[in-house]
Structure formats: C-alpha cells, structure tokens
C-alpha cells in the first residue's frame, strides 16, 4: 500500500510513477510562479503574500504585477487589504481574511525578531 502524503516510506514500499510525476509537476508550477514574480520585478512583500495565499487557495496566479485569486479577486501593488478588488464573486471577504492574517503574522515575526535581537544587549548590560 502506498503511503499517504506526508508519511515516510518504508524500505521496499512502492510509489506510483503517477504520484511522482504529479509532485514534480506541482513543484515545477511553484517554481515557475516564483520565477515569474522575480522577473516581473514584484516586491518581496508581494511574493510573500502570493505564497501565503497559494498555501490556502491553489487557484491564484500572477497577471503582470497583480495577484489574481480564483479569477475573482485582484490584488494590486502595494498588496495591502485595501488593494484587493472583487471582479464578480463573493471570494473577496475570504481573501481579505487571508491578507489580514498574513500581515498580522509578518508584524508578529518582526516583533519577535526585534525582541530576540535586544536580548543579548540586555544581558550584556546586566553583566557589566
């Protein structure tokens, strides 16, 4: 029996060639989307947001410097919540939530990095 995605294979286990081909195709698509973003001179923030959205909604792509999600929502630079526009459907609120969470997570990460950078300074001041 083949292992499920994320499981380890035991010695002698079999993996279908179709599964391997599908995984290679998905990896190739991810790389081509990243290469496109870099060649289109998309900001690092736009690239990060695209990757975050793509983890949740696979149906997203680049259209020049814009992110298009489910053919309904277009996110234009500078890729903030207010830059999300709905073409025709109700996907906008779902995409808004993803974008808002992305920026909350980015801000939390920055705060954590600043506190970790300040920790050695505090320790050095205390030991003086």
Look up the domain containing 50 and give its range. Answer: 44-115
Q: Which of 6, 95, 22 is nearest to 59 (CA)?
A: 95
Q: Is residue 51 part of a domain?
A: yes
* CA distance to 13, 20, 26, 56, per residue, from 17 (Å): 13, 5, 14, 26
Domain count for the chain, please give it.
Answer: 1
**Residue 84 clears pLDDT 80, i.e. is over it:** yes
> Residue 10 domain-assigned?
no
Is 79 within the bounds of a domain? Answer: yes
Range of lowest pLDDT (21-25, 58-62, 72-76, 122-126): 122-126
DSSP code of 2? P
pTM beyond cutoff 0.85: no
pLDDT of residue 57: 92
**What percent of the chain lies above the pLDDT cut of 90?**
45
More confident residue, 29 or 111: 111
Tokens of 44: 């690092």
More confidently predicted of 118 and 86: 86
Q: Is residue 53 part of a domain?
A: yes
Q: Where are the alpha helices (DSSP H) in 9-91?
A: 17-39, 44-56
Question: 58-76, pLDDT tens digit by residue?
Answer: 899 999 999 999 999 999 9
Determine, yes or no, domain membership for 15.
Answer: no
pLDDT at 95: 94
Q: What is the rounded CA–CA span in Å between residue 83 and residue 80?
A: 5
Residue 87 lies in a domain: yes
Provide mean pLDDT across the span 51-55: 92
- pLDDT in the model for residue 1: 47
Residue 103: band (very low, low, confident or very high) from pLDDT cuts 50, 70, 90: very high
Q: Which residues contact 21 (CB under 8 A, 6 or more apart)?
A: none
Q: What is the mean pLDDT of residues 15-39?
A: 66
Domain assignment present for 48: yes
């Amino acid at each position: 029996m083949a292992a499920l995605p994320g499981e380890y294979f035991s010695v002698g286990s079999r993996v279908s060639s179709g599964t391997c081909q599908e995984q290679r195709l998905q990896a190739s698509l991810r790389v081509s989307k990243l290469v496109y973003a870099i060649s289109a001179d998309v900001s690092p923030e736009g690239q990060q947001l695209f990757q975050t959205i793509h983890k949740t909604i696979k149906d997203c792509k680049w259209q020049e410097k814009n992110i298009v999600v489910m053919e309904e929502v277009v996110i234009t630079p500078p890729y903030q919540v207010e830059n999300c526009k709905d073409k025709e459907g109700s996907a906008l609120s779902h995409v808004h939530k993803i974008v808002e969470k992305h920026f909350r997570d980015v801000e939390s990460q920055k705060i954590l990095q600043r506190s970790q950078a300040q920790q050695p300074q505090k320790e050095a001041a205390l030991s003086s």
